[in-house]
C-alpha cells in the first residue's frame, strides 16, 4: 500500500459528492488485497512506531497504579474512599456507569447499525466492539471492589450454599449482575465471531509461532461458503439480540437509581435518558480513539471523513436528546410541585455543586451544537475537542446525578459536601490506563478494522456505486473499474 496514495487523501475532499449519490466508503486503491495489506500490515510490519511504545509504557504504568490502588483498598477497606453517609455512592458508581455507557456505543455501531443496513459501520465496528469489551472490563472492576468484603462477592451469584439462601432477584442491584455479565459475554462472542475471518487472514499471511497462534484462534476458518451462510445468519441473530440487550443493560443500570426513593433519582425518565446518554458518551469515546488511530496507523482511506461525519451526526442527535432530558427533568420538578424534587434541582443549578452542573451543561448540550455546521463535522480538531468535552461532560452527568441527589436529601442534619480522596482519583485514572493499554494491545496484535466486511462493502460499491441515476447499470462499470490485478 503506497504511502503516496494515502498522503494524496490528506485533502479529504471526498465528502463533496453529488446529491442522490452515495459517497465512497473505501478510498484509494479499490482492490481486496490492498485492504488486507493495509489492515494486516499494521499488525505484521515491524518496526512498531516509537509512539506506540511510549503510549504502552505510560498506560502500563497507570494500570500498575490501578492494581496498587485496588490492593490498598482491599487491605484497608472502603474507608479509604471519600464515600460516607449521606453520599454513600460516589466515584465508584459514577465510574461504573461511565464505563458501561461507553461500552454501549460499540454495540450500537456493530449491532444496531447492522440492523439498519448502514454499510459505513464496517470500518469502525471492529475497533468499537473492542472498545466495548475493554470498557466493560473497566466497568466491572467497580461493582466488584466497592462491596467492602470482596472475598464474599461470589454471594451475588445464585449457587447452592450451606446457608440455604438465594439472592434477591427483585433488586436492581442483582439485575445489574446478570445484565452486565450477559452484556460482557454477548459482546465478546459477537466480537469474536466477527474476528474469525480476519484471524484466518492473519494466519494465512503469517509464519512460525504467529501462524500457530493465529491458527489456533481462527479455529480453522477457511472462508467456506457453506460456513459463511451459517456465519451470516448467526451474525444477524447476534446483532438482533445485541440491540435490545444494549437498551436493556443501561436501563437496568438506570434502575439502580430509579427504583430508589431519592428525589432526582426516582423518575421514569431514567431508562431512556441513560441509554441516550450512554450512546452519546460512547460515540465521543469512539471518536476520541479512532481519530488519532486512523492518523497514526495510516487508515484514513478506510475510516474516511464520511465516517467521522456520520459519527458526529449521531453525537449531535444523542446530545440533543440528552439536553432535552435535562430540560424535561427541570420541567417535571416544577410541574410536580413536589418541594423535595424542586429543591433537588434548584440545588443542582445553584447549590455547592453548581460548578459540576454547569460544566455538564456546557460539555454535553452546548459543545456538540457546533456539529450543525457540516464544516465542523468534518474538521478533525473540532471533532476531537467536542469528543473530549463530551467524555468529561458525561462523567460529570453521572457525578451530578449521584452526588447532588445524595449530599442533600431529606434530612438537613445529614447534609454535607463530598470530596473524593486520592485513592478515588488514582483508581479512576488507572482504569483509563487499563482501557488504553488493552486498546493499544488490540491495535498492535489484532486487525482493528473488519477486513472481510470492508471487502464485502467494496464488492457492493464496485457493482452498485454509479454516478448516474440508474443504480442497476453496474455491469459496465464493474468491468471498467480498475481492479488492480497483478
Partner 1 sequence: MGMDELKPGAAEPEAMKTSGVLAEYATPEGLIAAAEKVAAAGYRKWDCFTPFPVHGLDDAMKIQATRLPWFVLACGLTGLALALGFQTWANGFDYPWNISGKPLISLPASIPVTFEGTVLFSAIGSFVGVLLFCQLPQLYHPTMRSAKFARATDDRFFLFIEARDRLFEAGKATSLLSGTHPESLETLEEPVHGSPQPGYFKPFTLMLFCLLSIPPLMLFNSRSQPSGDLPRIHIVQDMDKQPKFGPQMGVGENLFADGRAMRPPAVGVVARGEVKADSQLYEGKVDGKLAKGLPASLPASAALMERGRTMYNIQCSVCHGVAGDGKGTVAVRAQQLAEGTFIPPLAFHDDRLRNIEDGHLFEVITKGIRTMPGYGHKIVPEDRWAIILYVRALQLSQSASIDVVPADERAKIKPQ
Q: Segment 150-209, which members bind partner 1 (CB under 8 A)? A: 151, 158, 162, 164-172, 174-175, 178-179, 181-182, 185-186, 189-190, 192-193, 197, 200-201, 203-205
Shortest distance, position 200 Cβ to partner 1, whole Å: 5
Range 442-471, binding partner 1 (CB under 8 A): 451-453, 455-456, 459
With binding defined as CB under 8 A, does residue 230 bind partner 1?
Answer: yes
Contact (Cβ atoms closer than 8 angstroms) between residue 359 and residue 392: yes
Binding-site member from 67, 71, 115, 234 for partner 1 (CB under 8 A):
234
Q: Which of 241/384 has CB closer to partner 1?
A: 241
Closer residue to partner 1 (CB): 243 or 404: 243
For 59, half-sphere exposure in the C-beta direction (CA atoms, 13 angstrom radius) is 17
Cα 119–112–304 angle (5° rounding)?
Answer: 35
Is residue 36 a contact point for partner 1 (CB under 8 A)?
yes
Stretch that binds partner 1, among 29-37, 59-67, 304-312, 350-358 (CB under 8 A): 29-37
Three-state secondary-structure class, residue 302: coil
Closer by beta carbon to partner 1, 164 or else 413:
164
303 in contact with partner 1 (CB under 8 A): no
Question: How many other CB atoms are there within 10 angstroms of residue 219's CB atom?
Answer: 11
Among 15, 30, 248, 421, binds partner 1 (CB under 8 A): 248
DSSP string, 68-85: HHHHHHHHH-GGGSS-BT
Nearer to partner 1, 47 or 480 (CB): 480
d(CA 131, CA 443): 11
Specify the residue, 193 or 425, whose C-beta has the smaller distance to partner 1: 193
251/347 with CB nearer partner 1: 251
Cβ distance to partner 1 smaller for residue 33 or 374? 33
- CB of 471: closest distance to partner 1 in angstroms? 15
Q: Return the number of the residue (193 or 327) whose C-beta is nearest partner 1.
A: 193
Please check whether residue 93 is in contact with residue 142, taking contact to mean a CB–CB distance below 8 angstroms. Answer: yes
Q: Which stretch binds partner 1 (CB under 8 A): 44-52, 87-95, 224-232, 393-401?
A: 224-232
**Contact flag: residue 325 with partner 1 (CB under 8 A):** no
Using CB under 8 A as the binding rule, whether residue 476 contacts partner 1 is answered as no
Assess 433 for contact with partner 1 (CB under 8 A).
no
Q: Which is nearer to partner 1, 276 or 452 (CB)?
A: 452
Q: In the chain, what is the straight-line distance between the N-terminal and C-terminal CA atoms, in Å?
A: 13
Number of residues binding to partner 1, judged by CB under 8 A: 74
If phi > 0 it is left, if psi is from -120 to 50 it is alpha, else beta; for residue 27 that is beta
Question: Within 65-84, which residues bind partner 1 (CB under 8 A)?
Answer: 74-75, 77
Q: Does 481 bind partner 1 (CB under 8 A)?
A: no
The answer to whether residues 391 and 288 touch, using CB atoms and an 8 Å cutoff, is yes
Residues 250 to 279: which contact partner 1 by CB under 8 A? 252, 255
Shortest CA distance to 137 belongs to which of 174, 196, 183?
183
30 near partner 1 (CB under 8 A): no
Which of 15, 32, 269, 385 touches partner 1 by CB under 8 A? 32
- Cα(225)–Cα(453) distance, integer angstroms: 15
Does position 485 bind partner 1 by CB under 8 A? yes
Peptide bond into 47 cis (omega under 30): yes
- Indicate which single residue of 52, 56, 72, 228 sits in contact with partner 1 (rule: CB under 8 A): 228
Are 345 and 329 within 8 A, CB to CB? yes
Q: Using CA atoms in the order 363, 366, 367, 371, what is the torsion angle rounded to 10 degrees?
A: 150
CB 40 within 8 A of CB 202: yes
Strand partners, 87: 84
CB of residue 474 to partner 1, shortest distance in Å: 11
Nearer to partner 1, 192 or 358 (CB): 192
| 117 binds partner 1, rule: CB under 8 A | no
How many residues belong to the chain? 486
CB contact set of 223 (below 8 Å; sequence gap of 6+): 197, 200
Question: b/e map of 32-70 (b: 16 or more CB within 10 Å)?
Answer: bebbbbbbbebbeeeeeeeebeebbeebeebbebbeebb
| Cα–Cα distance measured from residue 452 to residue 126, given in angstroms and rounded to the nearest whole number | 11
User: Collapsing DSSP states into helix, strand and coil, what is residue 84?
Assistant: strand
Q: How far is the CB of 246 from partner 1 (least distance, A)?
A: 10
> Quick one: which of 10, 226, 381, 480 contacts partner 1 (CB under 8 A)?
226
Nearer to partner 1, 149 or 339 (CB): 149
CB of 26 to partner 1, least distance (A): 13
List 220, 339, 372, 422, residue binding partner 1 (CB under 8 A): 220
Helix-helix angle 172-205:32-44, to 10 degrees: 110
Amino acid at each position: 500500500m503506497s504511502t503516496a496514495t494515502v498522503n494524496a487523501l490528506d485533502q479529504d475532499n471526498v465528502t463533496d459528492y453529488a446529491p442522490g449519490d452515495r459517497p465512497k466508503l473505501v478510498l484509494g486503491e479499490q482492490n481486496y488485497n490492498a485492504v488486507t495489506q493495509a489492515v494486516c500490515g499494521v499488525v505484521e510490519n515491524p518496526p512498531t512506531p516509537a509512539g506506540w511504545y511510549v503510549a504502552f509504557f505510560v498506560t502500563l504504568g497507570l494500570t500498575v497504579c490501578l492494581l496498587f490502588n485496588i490492593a490498598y483498598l482491599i487491605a484497608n477497606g472502603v474507608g479509604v474512599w471519600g464515600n460516607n453517609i449521606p453520599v454513600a455512592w460516589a466515584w465508584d458508581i459514577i465510574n461504573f456507569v461511565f464505563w458501561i455507557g461507553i461500552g454501549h456505543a460499540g454495540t450500537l455501531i456493530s449491532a444496531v447499525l447492522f440492523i439498519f443496513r448502514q454499510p459505513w459501520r464496517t470500518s469502525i465496528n471492529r475497533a468499537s466492539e473492542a472498545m466495548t469489551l475493554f470498557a466493560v472490563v473497566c466497568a466491572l472492576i467497580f461493582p466488584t471492589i466497592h462491596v467492602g468484603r470482596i472475598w464474599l462477592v461470589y454471594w451475588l451469584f445464585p449457587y447452592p450454599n450451606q446457608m440455604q439462601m438465594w439472592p434477591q432477584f427483585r433488586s436492581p442491584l442483582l439485575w445489574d449482575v446478570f445484565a452486565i455479565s450477559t452484556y460482557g459475554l454477548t459482546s465478546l462472542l459477537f466480537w469474536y465471531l466477527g474476528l474469525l475471518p480476519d484471524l484466518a487472514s492473519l494466519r494465512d499471511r503469517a509464519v512460525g509461532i504467529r501462524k500457530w497462534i493465529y491458527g489456533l484462534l481462527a479455529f480453522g476458518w477457511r472462508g467456506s461458503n457453506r460456513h459463511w451462510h451459517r456465519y451470516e445468519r448467526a451474525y444477524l441473530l447476534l446483532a438482533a439480540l445485541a440491540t435490545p440487550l444494549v437498551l436493556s443493560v443501561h436501563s437496568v443500570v438506570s434502575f439502580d437509581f430509579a427504583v430508589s426513593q431519592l428525589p432526582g433519582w426516582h423518575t421514569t425518565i431514567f431508562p431512556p435518558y441513560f441509554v441516550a446518554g450512554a450512546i452519546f458518551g460512547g460515540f465521543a469515546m469512539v471518536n476520541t480513539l479512532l481519530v488519532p488511530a486512523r492518523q497514526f496507523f495510516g487508515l484514513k482511506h478506510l475510516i474516511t471523513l464520511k465516517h467521522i461525519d456520520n459519527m458526529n451526526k449521531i453525537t449531535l442527535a444523542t446530545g440533543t436528546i440528552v439536553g432535552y432530558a435535562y430540560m424535561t427533568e427541570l420541567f417535571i420538578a416544577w410541574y410536580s410541585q413536589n418541594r423535595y424534587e424542586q429543591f433537588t434541582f434548584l440545588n443542582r443549578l445553584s447549590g455547592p455543586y453548581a460548578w459540576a452542573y454547569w460544566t455538564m451543561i456546557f460539555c454535553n448540550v452546548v459543545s456538540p451544537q457546533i456539529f450543525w455546521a457540516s464544516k465542523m463535522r468534518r474538521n478533525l480538531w473540532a471533532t476531537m475537542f467536542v469528543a473530549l468535552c463530551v467524555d468529561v461532560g458525561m462523567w460529570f452527568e453521572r457525578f451530578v446525578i449521584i452526588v447532588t441527589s445524595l449530599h442533600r436529601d431529606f434530612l438537613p442534619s445529614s447534609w454535607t459536601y463530598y470530596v473524593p480522596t486520592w485513592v478515588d482519583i488514582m483508581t479512576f485514572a488507572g482504569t483509563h490506563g487499563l482501557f488504553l493499554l488493552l486498546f493499544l494491545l488490540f491495535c498492535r496484535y489484532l486487525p482493528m478494522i473488519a477486513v472481510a466486511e470492508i471487502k464485502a462493502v467494496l464488492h457492493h460499491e464496485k457493482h452498485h456505486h454509479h454516478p448516474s441515476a440508474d443504480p442497476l447499470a453496474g455491469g459496465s462499470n464493474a468491468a471498467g473499474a480498475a481492479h488492480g490485478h497483478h
